[in-house]
Structure 1
Amino acid sequence: MKVLIVDDEPPARDRLRELLGRLPDHEPCGEAGNGADALRLAANLQPDIVLLDIQMPGLDGLEIARRLATLPHPPALIFVTAYSEHALDAFDTHAVAYLLKPVRLERLEQALISASRLNRAQLTSLTAEREETGRTHLRARLGQRLELIPLADVYYFQADQKYVVVRHRHGEALIEETLKTLERELGNRVIRTHRNALAMVAQIAGLEKTTDESTRLIFQEIPDRLEVSRRHLPAVRKCLKLL
Protein backbone atom coordinates (compact mmCIF):
# COMPACT_ATOMS: atom_id res chain seq x y z
CA MET A 1 0.00 0.00 0.00
CA LYS A 2 1.34 3.43 -0.96
CA VAL A 3 1.30 5.95 1.89
CA LEU A 4 1.59 9.75 1.58
CA ILE A 5 2.90 11.53 4.71
CA VAL A 6 1.59 15.06 5.34
CA ASP A 7 2.95 17.06 8.30
CA ASP A 8 4.50 20.51 8.52
CA GLU A 9 7.11 19.35 11.08
CA PRO A 10 10.13 17.50 9.60
CA PRO A 11 10.75 15.43 12.80
CA ALA A 12 7.16 14.18 12.67
CA ARG A 13 7.58 13.16 9.02
CA ASP A 14 10.86 11.42 9.89
CA ARG A 15 9.15 9.47 12.67
CA LEU A 16 6.31 8.28 10.44
CA ARG A 17 8.73 7.35 7.65
CA GLU A 18 10.80 5.32 10.12
CA LEU A 19 7.71 3.48 11.42
CA LEU A 20 6.50 2.71 7.91
CA GLY A 21 9.91 1.26 7.14
CA ARG A 22 9.21 -1.38 9.79
CA LEU A 23 5.91 -2.42 8.21
CA PRO A 24 6.52 -4.57 5.11
CA ASP A 25 3.08 -4.12 3.53
CA HIS A 26 3.18 -0.31 3.46
CA GLU A 27 5.69 2.10 1.96
CA PRO A 28 5.92 5.91 1.82
CA CYS A 29 5.40 7.24 -1.70
CA GLY A 30 5.89 10.92 -0.89
CA GLU A 31 5.92 13.64 1.76
CA ALA A 32 4.35 17.09 2.03
CA GLY A 33 4.78 19.88 4.55
CA ASN A 34 1.72 21.94 3.54
CA GLY A 35 -1.73 21.57 2.07
CA ALA A 36 -0.96 22.68 -1.47
CA ASP A 37 1.85 20.15 -1.83
CA ALA A 38 -0.30 17.45 -0.25
CA LEU A 39 -3.10 17.93 -2.77
CA ARG A 40 -0.68 18.05 -5.70
CA LEU A 41 1.13 14.88 -4.63
CA ALA A 42 -2.11 13.05 -3.90
CA ALA A 43 -3.40 13.83 -7.40
CA ASN A 44 -0.14 12.76 -9.06
CA LEU A 45 0.87 9.76 -6.92
CA GLN A 46 -2.62 8.38 -6.14
CA PRO A 47 -1.65 7.02 -2.70
CA ASP A 48 -3.77 4.33 -1.09
CA ILE A 49 -3.51 5.99 2.34
CA VAL A 50 -2.67 9.49 3.59
CA LEU A 51 -1.22 10.08 7.07
CA LEU A 52 -2.43 13.61 7.76
CA ASP A 53 -1.65 16.15 10.47
CA ILE A 54 -4.48 18.55 11.38
CA GLN A 55 -2.87 21.78 12.53
CA MET A 56 -0.75 23.13 9.69
CA PRO A 57 -0.21 26.61 8.22
CA GLY A 58 -2.44 27.52 5.29
CA LEU A 59 -4.87 24.70 4.58
CA ASP A 60 -5.38 22.65 7.72
CA GLY A 61 -5.76 18.89 7.73
CA LEU A 62 -9.56 18.94 7.85
CA GLU A 63 -9.80 21.09 4.73
CA ILE A 64 -7.19 18.96 2.97
CA ALA A 65 -9.25 15.88 3.84
CA ARG A 66 -12.41 17.39 2.35
CA ARG A 67 -10.60 18.21 -0.89
CA LEU A 68 -8.98 14.77 -1.07
CA ALA A 69 -12.44 13.24 -0.88
CA THR A 70 -13.32 14.89 -4.20
CA LEU A 71 -10.51 13.16 -6.11
CA PRO A 72 -11.50 10.53 -8.70
CA HIS A 73 -9.63 7.96 -6.56
CA PRO A 74 -9.73 9.28 -2.99
CA PRO A 75 -7.23 7.78 -0.52
CA ALA A 76 -8.10 6.41 2.91
CA LEU A 77 -7.31 9.01 5.58
CA ILE A 78 -5.60 8.52 8.93
CA PHE A 79 -5.21 11.63 11.07
CA VAL A 80 -2.02 11.85 13.13
CA THR A 81 -2.06 14.78 15.54
CA ALA A 82 -1.27 15.98 19.04
CA TYR A 83 -4.77 17.40 19.55
CA SER A 84 -7.59 15.03 20.52
CA GLU A 85 -10.30 17.74 20.43
CA HIS A 86 -10.48 17.51 16.63
CA ALA A 87 -11.49 13.85 16.63
CA LEU A 88 -15.20 14.25 15.83
CA ASP A 89 -14.52 16.80 13.10
CA ALA A 90 -11.96 14.41 11.65
CA PHE A 91 -14.47 11.59 11.33
CA ASP A 92 -16.94 13.91 9.65
CA THR A 93 -14.42 13.89 6.76
CA HIS A 94 -14.66 10.06 6.69
CA ALA A 95 -11.25 9.45 8.27
CA VAL A 96 -10.60 5.77 8.92
CA ALA A 97 -8.61 6.31 12.13
CA TYR A 98 -7.31 9.04 14.42
CA LEU A 99 -3.92 8.62 16.12
CA LEU A 100 -2.44 10.81 18.83
CA LYS A 101 1.24 11.73 18.85
CA PRO A 102 3.65 10.28 19.76
CA VAL A 103 2.53 7.47 17.48
CA ARG A 104 3.37 3.91 18.50
CA LEU A 105 4.17 1.27 15.92
CA GLU A 106 1.39 -1.13 16.95
CA ARG A 107 -1.28 1.60 16.80
CA LEU A 108 -0.10 2.78 13.41
CA GLU A 109 -0.15 -0.79 12.13
CA GLN A 110 -3.73 -1.31 13.37
CA ALA A 111 -4.86 1.91 11.73
CA LEU A 112 -3.20 0.97 8.44
CA ILE A 113 -4.91 -2.43 8.52
CA SER A 114 -8.27 -0.70 9.00
CA ALA A 115 -7.52 1.63 6.11
CA SER A 116 -6.45 -1.26 3.91
CA ARG A 117 -9.85 -2.96 4.35
CA LEU A 118 -11.47 -0.19 2.32
CA ASN A 119 -10.94 -0.61 -1.39
CA ARG A 120 -11.02 2.36 -3.76
CA ALA A 121 -14.61 1.71 -4.83
CA GLN A 122 -15.78 1.83 -1.21
CA LEU A 123 -13.86 5.04 -0.54
CA THR A 124 -15.24 6.70 -3.66
CA SER A 125 -18.83 5.86 -2.76
CA LEU A 126 -18.64 6.58 0.97
CA THR A 127 -19.63 10.25 0.81
CA ALA A 128 -22.39 9.72 -1.75
CA GLU A 129 -23.78 6.77 0.17
CA ARG A 130 -23.98 8.79 3.37
CA GLU A 131 -25.84 11.58 1.58
CA GLU A 132 -28.33 9.18 0.03
CA THR A 133 -28.98 6.69 2.84
CA GLY A 134 -27.79 8.39 6.01
CA ARG A 135 -24.95 7.34 8.25
CA THR A 136 -22.98 4.27 7.24
CA HIS A 137 -20.39 4.10 10.05
CA LEU A 138 -20.02 4.70 13.79
CA ARG A 139 -17.11 6.42 15.53
CA ALA A 140 -15.87 4.15 18.32
CA ARG A 141 -13.15 4.71 20.91
CA LEU A 142 -10.61 1.88 21.23
CA GLY A 143 -8.16 2.97 23.91
CA GLN A 144 -6.51 6.13 22.60
CA ARG A 145 -7.63 5.40 19.06
CA LEU A 146 -10.86 6.22 17.31
CA GLU A 147 -12.04 3.93 14.52
CA LEU A 148 -14.98 3.52 12.20
CA ILE A 149 -17.37 0.57 12.56
CA PRO A 150 -19.64 -0.15 9.58
CA LEU A 151 -23.30 -0.10 10.58
CA ALA A 152 -23.73 -3.23 8.47
CA ASP A 153 -21.61 -5.06 11.07
CA VAL A 154 -23.65 -3.88 14.09
CA TYR A 155 -26.14 -6.16 15.89
CA TYR A 156 -27.34 -3.99 18.76
CA PHE A 157 -26.66 -1.04 21.08
CA GLN A 158 -26.92 -1.20 24.87
CA ALA A 159 -26.62 1.72 27.31
CA ASP A 160 -23.97 1.36 29.99
CA GLN A 161 -23.87 4.39 32.30
CA LYS A 162 -22.70 7.38 30.23
CA TYR A 163 -21.56 5.24 27.27
CA VAL A 164 -23.29 2.98 24.78
CA VAL A 165 -21.86 -0.46 24.05
CA VAL A 166 -21.97 -1.45 20.39
CA ARG A 167 -22.07 -5.19 19.72
CA HIS A 168 -20.69 -5.75 16.24
CA ARG A 169 -19.33 -8.54 14.08
CA HIS A 170 -15.82 -8.34 15.54
CA GLY A 171 -16.65 -7.76 19.21
CA GLU A 172 -17.69 -4.75 21.26
CA ALA A 173 -16.82 -1.04 21.35
CA LEU A 174 -17.87 2.08 23.25
CA ILE A 175 -19.42 5.16 21.68
CA GLU A 176 -20.37 8.45 23.32
CA GLU A 177 -23.71 8.91 21.56
CA THR A 178 -27.01 8.31 23.33
CA LEU A 179 -29.59 5.71 22.39
CA LYS A 180 -32.06 8.52 21.78
CA THR A 181 -29.74 10.16 19.25
CA LEU A 182 -29.07 6.84 17.49
CA GLU A 183 -32.79 6.01 17.38
CA ARG A 184 -33.62 9.38 15.85
CA GLU A 185 -30.84 9.24 13.25
CA LEU A 186 -31.10 5.58 12.26
CA GLY A 187 -34.90 5.60 12.06
CA ASN A 188 -36.48 2.33 10.94
CA ARG A 189 -33.10 0.62 10.72
CA VAL A 190 -33.32 0.07 14.49
CA ILE A 191 -36.03 -1.06 16.91
CA ARG A 192 -36.24 -0.23 20.62
CA THR A 193 -36.30 -3.48 22.63
CA HIS A 194 -35.86 -2.03 26.11
CA ARG A 195 -35.32 1.39 27.65
CA ASN A 196 -31.58 0.63 27.54
CA ALA A 197 -31.26 -1.17 24.19
CA LEU A 198 -31.72 -0.84 20.42
CA ALA A 199 -31.40 -3.64 17.87
CA MET A 200 -30.52 -3.41 14.19
CA VAL A 201 -33.59 -4.72 12.41
CA ALA A 202 -31.62 -6.38 9.59
CA GLN A 203 -29.76 -8.56 12.11
CA ILE A 204 -32.79 -9.94 13.98
CA ALA A 205 -33.49 -13.68 13.65
CA GLY A 206 -36.56 -13.90 15.89
CA LEU A 207 -37.91 -14.06 19.46
CA GLU A 208 -37.74 -16.71 22.16
CA LYS A 209 -39.46 -17.23 25.49
CA THR A 210 -37.41 -18.04 28.59
CA THR A 211 -38.34 -20.25 31.53
CA ASP A 212 -39.29 -17.18 33.59
CA GLU A 213 -41.72 -16.08 30.83
CA SER A 214 -39.60 -13.14 29.71
CA THR A 215 -38.91 -12.56 26.00
CA ARG A 216 -35.52 -12.34 24.34
CA LEU A 217 -34.43 -11.22 20.89
CA ILE A 218 -32.15 -13.59 18.98
CA PHE A 219 -29.77 -12.60 16.21
CA GLN A 220 -28.30 -14.03 13.07
CA GLU A 221 -24.75 -15.40 13.40
CA ILE A 222 -24.19 -14.59 17.11
CA PRO A 223 -25.45 -16.36 20.27
CA ASP A 224 -26.32 -13.14 22.15
CA ARG A 225 -29.82 -12.70 23.57
CA LEU A 226 -31.30 -9.24 24.13
CA GLU A 227 -34.13 -8.66 26.60
CA VAL A 228 -37.39 -7.31 25.19
CA SER A 229 -39.49 -5.43 27.74
CA ARG A 230 -43.26 -5.90 27.94
CA ARG A 231 -43.70 -2.26 26.94
CA HIS A 232 -41.77 -2.67 23.68
CA LEU A 233 -42.80 -6.26 22.83
CA PRO A 234 -45.84 -5.33 20.65
CA ALA A 235 -43.73 -3.00 18.47
CA VAL A 236 -41.01 -5.64 18.12
CA ARG A 237 -43.55 -8.31 17.11
CA LYS A 238 -45.10 -5.95 14.56
CA CYS A 239 -41.65 -5.19 13.14
CA LEU A 240 -40.83 -8.90 12.79
CA LYS A 241 -44.07 -9.55 10.87
CA LEU A 242 -42.94 -7.04 8.27
CA LEU A 243 -39.55 -8.70 7.72
Structure 2
Amino acid sequence: MLTHPPLKVLIVDDEPLARLRLRGLVEANEEPRAEVVAEAGSGDQALVWLRDHACDLILLDVQMPGLDGLGLAEALRGRPFAPAIVFVTAHAQHALQAFELEALDYLTKPVRRERLQGSLARAAQRLGERAAAQARDDQERPSGADTPVINITERGRLLRVPLSEVLYFKAELKYLTLRTATQSHVMDGSLSDLEQRLGDRFLRVHRNALVAKSAVRELERHVPTEGPADADGDTAGELGWAVRIAHVNEWLAVSRRQVAAVREALAGQR
Protein backbone atom coordinates (compact mmCIF):
# COMPACT_ATOMS: atom_id res chain seq x y z
CA MET A 1 0.00 0.00 0.00
CA LEU A 2 1.36 3.41 -0.99
CA THR A 3 1.82 5.76 1.97
CA HIS A 4 2.26 9.49 1.69
CA PRO A 5 4.36 11.66 3.98
CA PRO A 6 2.36 13.67 6.50
CA LEU A 7 1.19 17.14 5.57
CA LYS A 8 3.53 19.82 6.94
CA VAL A 9 1.42 22.38 8.77
CA LEU A 10 2.30 25.89 10.00
CA ILE A 11 -0.04 27.35 12.65
CA VAL A 12 -0.27 31.15 12.78
CA ASP A 13 -2.30 32.64 15.64
CA ASP A 14 -1.51 35.29 18.24
CA GLU A 15 -3.22 33.26 21.02
CA PRO A 16 -0.99 30.49 22.49
CA LEU A 17 -3.99 28.49 23.73
CA ALA A 18 -5.56 28.57 20.26
CA ARG A 19 -2.30 27.29 18.74
CA LEU A 20 -2.10 24.54 21.37
CA ARG A 21 -5.63 23.34 20.63
CA LEU A 22 -5.06 23.38 16.88
CA ARG A 23 -1.81 21.45 17.26
CA GLY A 24 -3.66 18.76 19.22
CA LEU A 25 -6.41 18.48 16.60
CA VAL A 26 -3.92 18.34 13.70
CA GLU A 27 -1.69 15.71 15.22
CA ALA A 28 -4.65 13.57 16.37
CA ASN A 29 -6.01 13.41 12.82
CA GLU A 30 -5.57 9.91 11.44
CA GLU A 31 -6.26 10.46 7.74
CA PRO A 32 -4.66 12.31 6.15
CA ARG A 33 -1.71 12.32 8.51
CA ALA A 34 -0.37 15.76 9.37
CA GLU A 35 2.34 17.24 11.56
CA VAL A 36 2.84 20.76 12.89
CA VAL A 37 6.30 21.84 11.76
CA ALA A 38 6.20 25.34 13.28
CA GLU A 39 4.04 27.95 15.02
CA ALA A 40 4.01 31.73 14.68
CA GLY A 41 2.29 34.42 16.73
CA SER A 42 1.89 36.90 13.89
CA GLY A 43 1.95 37.21 10.13
CA ASP A 44 5.36 38.89 10.32
CA GLN A 45 6.85 35.94 12.23
CA ALA A 46 5.33 33.54 9.71
CA LEU A 47 6.88 35.42 6.77
CA VAL A 48 10.31 35.25 8.39
CA TRP A 49 9.94 31.50 8.92
CA LEU A 50 8.70 30.95 5.36
CA ARG A 51 11.81 32.59 3.88
CA ASP A 52 13.88 29.59 4.98
CA HIS A 53 11.36 26.78 5.34
CA ALA A 54 8.50 25.19 3.45
CA CYS A 55 5.15 23.76 4.46
CA ASP A 56 2.09 22.31 2.73
CA LEU A 57 -0.63 24.11 4.67
CA ILE A 58 -1.03 27.21 6.87
CA LEU A 59 -3.77 27.31 9.50
CA LEU A 60 -4.13 31.06 9.71
CA ASP A 61 -5.91 33.37 12.13
CA VAL A 62 -7.33 36.56 10.61
CA GLN A 63 -7.08 39.23 13.31
CA MET A 64 -3.55 39.57 14.69
CA PRO A 65 -1.28 42.47 15.66
CA GLY A 66 0.99 43.72 12.89
CA LEU A 67 0.57 41.81 9.64
CA ASP A 68 -2.80 40.08 9.95
CA GLY A 69 -3.90 36.87 8.30
CA LEU A 70 -5.39 38.53 5.22
CA GLY A 71 -2.17 40.50 4.74
CA LEU A 72 -0.07 37.35 5.00
CA ALA A 73 -2.26 35.56 2.46
CA GLU A 74 -1.90 38.49 0.08
CA ALA A 75 1.89 38.47 0.52
CA LEU A 76 2.04 34.77 -0.37
CA ARG A 77 -0.40 34.98 -3.27
CA GLY A 78 1.13 34.04 -6.60
CA ARG A 79 4.26 32.49 -5.16
CA PRO A 80 5.28 29.28 -6.90
CA PHE A 81 4.55 26.27 -4.69
CA ALA A 82 2.85 28.51 -2.12
CA PRO A 83 1.27 26.56 0.74
CA ALA A 84 -2.48 26.11 0.90
CA ILE A 85 -4.22 28.42 3.39
CA VAL A 86 -7.08 27.59 5.72
CA PHE A 87 -8.33 30.56 7.76
CA VAL A 88 -9.25 29.77 11.36
CA THR A 89 -11.05 32.62 13.11
CA ALA A 90 -13.89 33.58 15.40
CA HIS A 91 -15.02 36.27 12.93
CA ALA A 92 -17.06 34.92 10.01
CA GLN A 93 -17.39 38.32 8.32
CA HIS A 94 -14.02 37.91 6.59
CA ALA A 95 -15.01 34.75 4.71
CA LEU A 96 -15.67 36.43 1.34
CA GLN A 97 -12.35 38.25 1.36
CA ALA A 98 -10.59 35.07 2.40
CA PHE A 99 -11.89 33.16 -0.60
CA GLU A 100 -11.02 36.06 -2.90
CA LEU A 101 -7.44 35.39 -1.69
CA GLU A 102 -7.87 31.78 -2.87
CA ALA A 103 -8.09 30.26 0.60
CA LEU A 104 -8.68 26.52 0.61
CA ASP A 105 -11.18 26.70 3.47
CA TYR A 106 -12.52 28.93 6.25
CA LEU A 107 -13.07 27.48 9.74
CA THR A 108 -14.74 29.28 12.64
CA LYS A 109 -13.63 28.86 16.23
CA PRO A 110 -14.05 26.69 18.15
CA VAL A 111 -12.86 24.37 15.39
CA ARG A 112 -14.67 21.06 15.15
CA ARG A 113 -12.58 17.96 14.54
CA GLU A 114 -14.68 16.89 11.56
CA ARG A 115 -14.36 20.27 9.82
CA LEU A 116 -10.60 20.31 10.29
CA GLN A 117 -10.34 16.78 8.92
CA GLY A 118 -12.19 17.91 5.80
CA SER A 119 -9.76 20.83 5.35
CA LEU A 120 -6.75 18.57 5.76
CA ALA A 121 -8.21 16.13 3.21
CA ARG A 122 -8.66 18.96 0.67
CA ALA A 123 -5.09 20.12 1.28
CA ALA A 124 -3.76 16.59 0.72
CA GLN A 125 -5.83 16.28 -2.48
CA ARG A 126 -4.50 19.59 -3.81
CA LEU A 127 -0.93 18.54 -3.01
CA GLY A 128 -1.44 15.24 -4.83
CA GLU A 129 -2.90 16.98 -7.88
CA ARG A 130 0.03 19.38 -7.99
CA ALA A 131 2.54 16.51 -7.83
CA ALA A 132 0.68 14.60 -10.55
CA ALA A 133 0.61 17.66 -12.81
CA GLN A 134 4.31 18.21 -12.32
CA ALA A 135 5.02 14.57 -13.15
CA ARG A 136 2.95 14.83 -16.35
CA ASP A 137 4.81 17.97 -17.36
CA ASP A 138 8.13 16.23 -16.82
CA GLN A 139 7.06 13.22 -18.90
CA GLU A 140 5.59 15.29 -21.73
CA ARG A 141 8.52 17.69 -22.03
CA PRO A 142 10.36 16.64 -25.22
CA SER A 143 14.08 16.14 -25.27
CA GLY A 144 15.79 19.28 -26.48
CA ALA A 145 12.99 21.45 -25.08
CA ASP A 146 13.67 25.08 -24.28
CA THR A 147 16.19 25.72 -21.55
CA PRO A 148 14.47 26.27 -18.16
CA VAL A 149 14.41 29.91 -17.13
CA ILE A 150 13.79 32.02 -14.05
CA ASN A 151 11.35 34.88 -14.66
CA ILE A 152 12.17 38.12 -12.85
CA THR A 153 10.23 41.39 -12.78
CA GLU A 154 12.80 44.15 -12.40
CA ARG A 155 12.07 47.88 -12.68
CA GLY A 156 8.91 47.26 -14.67
CA ARG A 157 10.37 44.80 -17.16
CA LEU A 158 10.24 41.01 -17.34
CA LEU A 159 13.60 39.24 -17.55
CA ARG A 160 14.08 35.58 -18.43
CA VAL A 161 17.33 34.29 -16.97
CA PRO A 162 18.37 30.82 -18.20
CA LEU A 163 18.74 28.53 -15.22
CA SER A 164 22.03 27.29 -16.62
CA GLU A 165 23.48 30.79 -16.10
CA VAL A 166 22.51 31.07 -12.42
CA LEU A 167 25.41 30.69 -9.98
CA TYR A 168 23.48 31.12 -6.76
CA PHE A 169 20.45 32.57 -5.01
CA LYS A 170 21.00 34.42 -1.74
CA ALA A 171 18.37 35.58 0.75
CA GLU A 172 18.70 39.18 1.82
CA LEU A 173 16.32 41.09 4.12
CA LYS A 174 13.04 40.96 2.20
CA TYR A 175 14.14 39.69 -1.19
CA LEU A 176 16.46 37.30 -3.02
CA THR A 177 19.56 38.05 -5.05
CA LEU A 178 20.09 35.98 -8.19
CA ARG A 179 23.74 35.99 -9.30
CA THR A 180 25.08 35.15 -12.75
CA ALA A 181 28.63 35.50 -14.01
CA THR A 182 27.96 39.05 -15.18
CA GLN A 183 25.00 40.43 -13.25
CA SER A 184 23.03 40.45 -10.00
CA HIS A 185 19.23 40.60 -10.03
CA VAL A 186 16.77 41.23 -7.21
CA MET A 187 13.69 39.02 -7.11
CA ASP A 188 10.80 38.02 -4.86
CA GLY A 189 10.31 34.54 -3.48
CA SER A 190 11.85 32.22 -0.92
CA LEU A 191 14.79 29.84 -1.01
CA SER A 192 12.57 27.00 0.17
CA ASP A 193 10.26 27.39 -2.83
CA LEU A 194 13.23 27.48 -5.20
CA GLU A 195 14.86 24.49 -3.53
CA GLN A 196 11.71 22.43 -4.17
CA ARG A 197 11.38 23.64 -7.76
CA LEU A 198 14.99 23.26 -8.87
CA GLY A 199 15.75 19.80 -7.53
CA ASP A 200 19.22 18.28 -7.53
CA ARG A 201 20.83 20.91 -9.74
CA PHE A 202 21.14 23.28 -6.77
CA LEU A 203 22.45 22.76 -3.24
CA ARG A 204 21.46 24.56 -0.04
CA VAL A 205 24.82 25.48 1.52
CA HIS A 206 23.42 27.72 4.25
CA ARG A 207 20.02 28.92 5.43
CA ASN A 208 20.55 32.02 3.26
CA ALA A 209 22.14 30.55 0.12
CA LEU A 210 21.22 28.09 -2.65
CA VAL A 211 24.12 27.37 -5.00
CA ALA A 212 24.37 25.68 -8.41
CA LYS A 213 26.40 22.52 -7.86
CA SER A 214 28.29 23.14 -11.10
CA ALA A 215 29.40 26.55 -9.77
CA VAL A 216 31.09 25.23 -6.63
CA ARG A 217 34.85 25.30 -7.15
CA GLU A 218 36.37 24.98 -3.70
CA LEU A 219 35.50 24.25 -0.07
CA GLU A 220 37.76 25.87 2.48
CA ARG A 221 38.02 26.80 6.15
CA HIS A 222 37.28 30.48 6.73
CA VAL A 223 37.27 32.72 9.79
CA PRO A 224 33.72 34.16 9.99
CA THR A 225 32.96 37.77 10.73
CA GLU A 226 32.05 38.67 14.31
CA GLY A 227 28.42 38.32 15.26
CA PRO A 228 25.96 36.17 17.22
CA ALA A 229 25.52 32.46 16.65
CA ASP A 230 23.20 31.86 13.70
CA ALA A 231 20.21 29.57 13.22
CA ASP A 232 22.39 26.88 11.65
CA GLY A 233 24.28 26.45 14.89
CA ASP A 234 27.51 28.10 13.77
CA THR A 235 29.13 30.05 16.58
CA ALA A 236 30.53 33.55 16.20
CA GLY A 237 34.30 33.65 16.00
CA GLU A 238 34.55 29.92 15.33
CA LEU A 239 36.51 28.73 12.29
CA GLY A 240 33.87 27.91 9.68
CA TRP A 241 33.53 26.74 6.09
CA ALA A 242 32.91 28.58 2.83
CA VAL A 243 32.64 27.72 -0.87
CA ARG A 244 34.22 29.61 -3.75
CA ILE A 245 31.84 30.30 -6.62
CA ALA A 246 33.06 29.95 -10.21
CA HIS A 247 33.35 32.95 -12.54
CA VAL A 248 32.87 35.56 -9.80
CA ASN A 249 35.34 34.15 -7.23
CA GLU A 250 32.99 35.01 -4.38
CA TRP A 251 32.96 33.07 -1.11
CA LEU A 252 29.67 32.00 0.49
CA ALA A 253 29.40 30.66 4.03
CA VAL A 254 28.59 26.96 4.50
CA SER A 255 26.78 25.83 7.64
CA ARG A 256 28.29 22.92 9.52
CA ARG A 257 25.31 20.69 8.78
CA GLN A 258 25.82 21.18 5.01
CA VAL A 259 29.58 20.55 4.81
CA ALA A 260 29.17 16.84 4.03
CA ALA A 261 26.69 17.56 1.21
CA VAL A 262 29.04 20.13 -0.32
CA ARG A 263 31.91 17.62 -0.21
CA GLU A 264 29.72 15.10 -2.05
CA ALA A 265 28.81 17.69 -4.69
CA LEU A 266 32.47 18.49 -5.28
CA ALA A 267 33.37 14.81 -5.48
CA GLY A 268 30.60 14.24 -8.05
CA GLN A 269 32.15 16.82 -10.40
CA ARG A 270 35.41 14.99 -10.76
Compute the TM-score of the two structures, normalised by the length of structure 1: 0.48
Compute the TM-score of the two structures, normalised by the length of structure 2: 0.44
